[in-house]
Amino acid sequence: MAAPPDRIWDLVSDVTKIGRYSPETFEAEWLDGATGPAVGAKFRGHVKRNGKGPTYWTTCTVVASEPGREFAFGVGPSDKPLNVWRYQIEPDGDGADVTESFQLAQTPPLRLYWALLGWTRGRTNRNGMRTTLERIKAEVEAAG
């Protein structure tokens, strides 16, 4: 992305803006008095699974927060998240390379789920991450 890493990080770490970028999570709000992306801060996201439904709220906990470099959050219980979403930002010349990733917890039920249905969810995640990053890129570069 043709933007400074700090500006990109400001966008990805402000969960209240997620609805502008994500095709599944259309809104989010900080919980328990949290106002920003500190490790341990909780928020809840309003998700429309696969962009179609079902629609539900899910609680998330910030697990990594390094300005200009990384933002990650776990979905589900804070001590044992079901999955972790991560944005890694690497400075590159006048801009940055941004990688969004998803890691499923290595529990037997989730490994079974991924073995049986992971191909379809993996495709949905990859497409969603591509859309999210394209939308972030468009906004951060327009702010130039």
pTM of the model as a whole: 0.91
Rounded distance, CA 54 to CA 14, Å?
24
- Within 10 A of 31 (CB to CB), how many other CB atoms are there? 13
Between the alpha carbon of residue 131 and those of residues 21, 46, 116, the distances in Å are: 7, 18, 25
pLDDT digits (tens, 9 = 90+) for 71-117: 999 999 999 999 999 999 999 999 999 999 999 888 888 788 878 87
Q: In the chain, helix, strand, coil percent, each to 5?
A: 35, 35, 30
pLDDT digits (tens, 9 = 90+) for 37-74: 999 999 999 998 877 778 999 999 999 999 999 999 99
The architecture CATH gives domain 5-142: 2-Layer Sandwich (3.30)
